[in-house]
Amino acid sequence: MSNSTSHNSFCAYCKTPRKVYLKRHITATNVWLSFLVSLLFMFVVWEQFDPRMLFVFVVALSCAEVFVQVRWRMGLRCQHCGFDPVVYMKSPKRAAQLVRDQFDRRSQNLEFLFTDSPLLREAAMAHFQSQARRSASTDLADSEVSPGLEGSQSSVKPPQVGSGGTIDSLPSDLGMLTGDEVVDEGLTRT
């Protein structure tokens, strides 16, 4: 049986699976339940039919609408990378800043460095790309200085993603924990 209020999806930025709520506004079911709550409240408090029930009904409808709207909006933002598609539609630069802030905040926690987070893979790929560009520009400058080195190519190769989703052959100067073993002050964690 499928649930029409939520949908299993993937984050557009980090590709992690997540649940997205599709329902943005209240439906007839929410109106009916709000009516039942106000009717029950009326009989508990006033023990008879009372027109003040309409006020309770409007308050219950308002609470239901706020709850559904907040649940929908909070469900859009990815909990792993911080990507928010609504912010991205308005300002891609602001969305990139939110992802960067989320990465900075999470990287302060040492436990985050031991996870298989897509943010760590992104950081490693960015590091490799910048190192490859630096190496290519250095090779180009060397070939201009010494014409005997024609056709030299960069020795930095892009990382290969392993079978477990981890990046193989990360350099030791990456500044973050990599590989299957981490040695820290004589303690080994595998």
Final residue before a domain boundary, out of 29, 62, 79 = 79
Is 86 part of a structural domain of the chain? no
Q: What integer pLDDT is reported at residue 68 of this predicted model?
A: 93
Q: In which residue ranges of the chain is pLDDT below 70?
A: 1-4, 113, 117-124, 139-190
Rounded Cα gap, residues 48 and 32, in angstroms: 20
Confidence (pLDDT) at 177: 39
Neighbours of 128 (CB within 10 A): 19
Residue 102 lies in a domain: no
Q: What is the pLDDT of residue 4?
A: 66
Q: Final residue of a domain: which of 36, 59, 79?
A: 79
Q: Is position 100 within any domain?
A: no
Number of domains comprising the chain: 2
> Quick one: 125 and 178 in the same domain?
yes
The closest alpha carbon to 61, from 85, 28, 93, 108, belongs to: 28
d(CA 183, CA 146): 42
* Whether residue 119 is found in the same domain as residue 185: yes
Report if pTM > 0.75: no
Q: Is residue 132 part of a domain?
A: yes
Would residue 149 count as lying in a domain?
Answer: yes
Tell me how far the alpha carbon of residue 53 is from its chain's centroid.
43
Out of 79, 98, 129, pick the residue that ends a domain.
Answer: 79
**CA angle (130 as vertex; 125, 134 as ends), nearest 5:** 145
- Is residue 25 within 8 Å of residue 68, measured between CB atoms? yes
Judged by DSSP in three states, 183 sits in strand
Q: Report the largest interatomic distance among the alpha carbons of the chain, rounded to a whole angstrom.
A: 100
- For residues 51 and 115, state if they share a domain: no
Domain around 161: 109-189
Instruction: Check residue 188 and give its pLDDT.
Output: 42
Supply the pLDDT for residue 69: 93
What does the block give as tokens for 41? 């409240």
Which amino acid appears at position 125 of this protein? M
